[in-house]
A and B are shown apart, each in its own frame.
Chain A
Amino acid sequence: EPEVTQTPSHQVTQMGQEVILRCVPISNHLYFYWYRQILGQKVEFLVSFYNNEISEKSEIFDDQFSVERPDGSNFTLKIRSTKLEDSAMYFCASTPQLGGANHEQYFGPGTRLTVT
């Protein structure tokens, strides 16, 4: 069964450094998402992406964050200058549907980002 994959599984970085989290969505999917989960808290939406542009972003997704689909398979989240509070598990998700009623999102295993 096709899966969303994410790399790396764990990233440790120093405050102020740039990080890029990588995701490979399921190949025929059209919508892509990033979520994050700070330890002990709920999963929060960051951004959605369709047709090579951002569809929606949350308040968390400020100018330090960017997303890109550099080729036909990868979907990346870049944090330009990391802060301690960016430490979290970051999940990528994708969904195949363009409109319609079936909106199941398929999640990747996550990247644990630790900012020191």
Chain B
Amino acid sequence: AQSVSQHNHHVILSEAASLELGCNYSYGGTVNLFWYVQYPGQHLQLLLKYFSGDPLVKGIKGFEAEFIKSKFSFNLRKPSVQWSDTAEYFCAVNAYFGNEKLTFGTGTRLTIIP
């Protein structure tokens, strides 16, 4: 069975600080990887996704993530955060073949202090 671990439950940063949120997954086959963001009171939005190819993927709003297959990791990064990045961030995975369910991590709440 698939599982996703997000080790940071709540991260507090000042504006302009750099961000890295950890995500590790467990699955025996080839996977698709996603980061979703949920702004307060809003629905899940896709930040970025990895299906294949270049393991460094760039998403919206200056976010990027790197897939490291040997470490089963897909960490989210942003060089300089803004107050508007305050949100809940979810890492998710599904199987590469077939329209499989998404398995989500527990989420990381990011609070940016102006």
Q: Verify that A and B bind, or say they do not.
A: yes
| Residues of chain A having any CB pair with chain B under 8 Å | 30-31, 33, 35, 41-45, 48, 50, 55-56, 58, 91, 93, 95, 97-99, 101-110
Residue of A nearest to B6 (CB): A42
Cα A44 to Cα B52 in complex, Å, equals 25
Interface segment out of the listed B13-21, B39-47, B67-75: B39-47
| Chain B residue contacts of A98, Cβ below 8 A | 99
Cα A93 to Cα B79 in complex, Å, equals 31
Known: A97-B99, A99-B98. A44 touches B104 (CB 8 A): yes
Chain B's nearest CB lies how many Å from the CB of A101? Answer: 5
Cα A104 to Cα B45 in complex, Å, equals 11
Cα A95 to Cα B94 in complex, Å, equals 13
Which bucket holds chain B's interface residue count?
Answer: 20 to 34
Interface residues of B in 56-114 (CB under 8 A from A): 90, 92, 94, 96-107
| Residues of chain B having any CB pair with chain A under 8 Å | 32, 34, 36, 42-46, 49, 51-52, 90, 92, 94, 96-107
Residue of A nearest to B42 (CB): A109
Chain B's nearest CB lies how many Å from the CB of A50? Answer: 7
Cα A102 to Cα B53 in complex, Å, equals 13
Contact between chains at A103 and B32 (CB < 8 Å) = yes
Our pick among A35, A99, A108 for the contact of B97 (Cβ within 8 Å) is A99
Contact between chains at A91 and B104 (CB < 8 Å) = no
